[in-house]
Chains A and B, each alone.
Chain A
Amino acid sequence: MLLIIKRLWQVNWAEQWQYRANLLMYLLYWLVSPIIYLAVWTSIANVKGDVNGFTANDFTTYYMVLLIADQFTSNIVIHTFGYKIQDGSLSGELIRPIHPLLTNGLVNNIAFKALTIMGLLPIWIILFFLYKPDFSGISWTGIALAIPAMILAFFTGYLLSAAITSLAFWTTRVYSIHEFYFALILLFSGQFVPLTLMPQIVQDIAQYLPFQLLIYYPVQLILGKLSSAQIVQGYVMSFIWLGIAWLFFTWVWRNGVKRYSAVGA
């Protein structure tokens, strides 16, 4: 299995490099919204002094950490895999004795991440000098707690996206479904605005949903803003959602493959 992963990595890494220009475009596109949120919220906080207790520096540190956390936990499986089900190019992968989404798809996403993180780094450094955030609240304990949380969140997010991608076995409109899913992420993950600034009802719902595990929870862990009880609850939710995502994905996949029509080839 190790050799398979190593060779998959070599192939996918080489493939991603082939598309480096494409990837840079994606990165810039992806960076636009958090950077806008960062700019808007810090300006408002600068004028008003704070927004519900959030100072300009709180916003800056929140979004600067978010940029990194989101890179770790997000995935692009809908873009790299959805079309394969629709146009039949999944066939070649389906008859290989390894699971297409749990091996190749996964490694492909990780290779993509590795490259975008390399691209993000210089941009992050520029932003750092522009905004000069005060990171004194960050502790090594927070970072150490956040890393496993982000790994769990990545796998949960990947499985959920992979399950939604696999709905392409049923419908050709899978991209619309994914857009809706993405809107939920935007709303409940804390990307749009730190969740504590959301209405209480949204916060109450969000803490039971998987989306805040992708961004809000690891960011707050790193920034050291959570109580011990909140940390424990976050980890419990992480494992519960990983389990749910796994069941959801395996169910969709098992039933979807039966409907595969291997068109084209």
Chain B
Amino acid sequence: MSPTINVQQLSKTYQVPEREGGFGAAVRSFFKRKYKDVKAVQQVDFKIEQGEIVGFLGPNGAGKTTTLKMLSGLLHPTGGKAEVLGFTPWELKPEYLRVMTLVMGQRNRLSWDIPAADSFLLNQAIYRIPDDEYKQTYKELDELLELEPLMKKPVRNLSLGERMKCEIAAGLLHRPKVLFLDEPTIGLDITGQARIREFLREYNKRTGATILLTSHYMADVTALCERIIIIHHGNLKYDGGINDLSRRIAPFKLIGVRLAEPNSHDLSKYGEPVQNEEDAEKQYIQVKAEDVTRVTSKLLADLPVHDITIADPPIEDVIEQAFNQ
């Protein structure tokens, strides 16, 4: 059987207009525009079988969203081929659009000015969902995401997290066979994130749907995906089991230290200093996992430490680091 998603040599180059600041440049660009080629995705290959949940990772600007947009049909590639369920996505055939979904941040299956319930009913008609199936799916989504209290309010009055829940539900009403999820848990609280994960796992198990998702939350990826694909600067860097990658990147931990006088000591002799905007009063260093105990006790012995935390480095940083080495 052919794979559900088959991507061969897929490439996308954006032409971005470019000019210097200033009046002269503005006039010149009126007559002759300069363009810069930005290679967002470069000759990427992968295959995903039916029923797989694959995490699609990479630092900001790596080409993840561009790839998802091509696979859902929004973007035409500049090179290569892709087939999803036997369709070429960017032909935008209604038969294809009816069996896949793309959930992207904030946008945009819901009309901003009217209650989500009305948009849901519109989707029911557009995707030709029979009444009983619609009711059943809605019930399941409501149980998991607690939609009912949100349904009657105009979408513009919902919070970010509430809107995200409605967006996801709107994208799943037609029970798609392939799901492209770009940051599906963004804006949700911990419980909300866990619920979405639980739901996706359940949905995948029950329907055998294929899921490709990007997320900044490592928890999403570790909870759901056995396989991950990493791209960086538009190139495929890794395609394989998540455990293998963990072994490759696990050696690092992030130690955060708050000193009696914030930022008063140079910590570079204890480990590699790392920028982290989470807490301005804390200094962060990155150390190898096996050194954590030694470095921590040394820090506590040497310096007036008020607070210390040990954490996994953010996934984006780890990936960036792993592939810049």
Contacts and interface: CB of A to CB of B under 8 A. Distances in A.
**Secondary structure type dominating chain B contacts:** mixed
Interface residues of A, number: 29
A79 interface: no
Contact of B97 (A19, A96, A259): A96
Interface stretch (B52-60, B107-115, B140-148, B277-285): B107-115
B118 A96 contact: no
A7 B126 CA distance: 9
B312 to A, nearest CB: 29
A264 B95 CA distance: 27
A91 B106 CA distance: 11
Given A95-B74, A98-B94, A262-B69, A15 B114 contact: yes
Given A262-B74, A265-B106, A265-B108, A11 B118 contact: yes
Contacts of A91: 69, 74, 102, 104, 107-108
Contacts of B90: 258
B122 interface: yes
Interface in B119-134: 119, 121-127
B184 interface: no
Given A10-B118, A15-B114, A92-B107, A3 B125 contact: yes
A4 B125 contact: yes
B105 A265 contact: yes
A97 interface: yes
Contacts of B74: 91, 94-95, 260, 262
Contact of B14 (A7, A18, A98, A261): A261
Contacts of A92: 107-109
A89 B122 contact: no
A7 B125 contact: yes
A170 to B, nearest CB: 12
Contact of A11 (B73, B75, B122): B122
A4 to B, nearest CB: 5
A15 B119 CA distance: 11
Contacts of B250: none
B113 A18 contact: yes
B158 to A, nearest CB: 15
B134 to A, nearest CB: 12
Contact of A97 (B72, B102, B127): B127
B19 interface: no
Contacts, number: 84
A175 B251 CA distance: 56
Contacts of A93: 108
A236 interface: no
Nearest to B105: A265
Contact of A88 (B97, B107, B114): B107
B120 to A, nearest CB: 10
B98 interface: yes
A225 interface: no
B92 interface: yes
Contacts of B72: 95
Nearest to B100: A95
A14 interface: yes
B118 A94 contact: no
A120 to B, nearest CB: 23
Interface string A7-23: 11011001100110000
Contacts of B73: 94-95
Interface in B40-87: 69, 72-76
B107 A95 contact: no
A202 interface: no
Given A258-B76, A265-B106, A15 B111 contact: yes
A132 interface: no
A257 interface: yes
Given A4-B122, A8-B125, A95-B102, 18 more contacts: A3-B125, A4-B125, A7-B125, A7-B126, A11-B118, A11-B119, A14-B113, A14-B118, A15-B114, A89-B108, A91-B69, A93-B108, A94-B92, A97-B126, A98-B126, A261-B75, A262-B74, A262-B75
Interface of B: 14, 69, 72-76, 90, 92, 94-95, 97-98, 100, 102, 104-109, 111, 113-114, 118-119, 121-127, 154
List of 9 A-B pairs having minimum Cβ-Cβ separation, nearest first: A92-B108, A97-B94, A97-B97, A7-B125, A265-B107, A18-B113, A7-B122, A3-B125, A262-B74
19 contacts: A3-B125, A4-B122, A8-B125, A11-B111, A91-B104, A91-B107, A92-B108, A94-B74, A95-B73, A95-B100, A96-B97, A97-B94, A97-B95, A97-B126, A98-B94, A258-B90, A260-B76, A262-B69, A264-B107
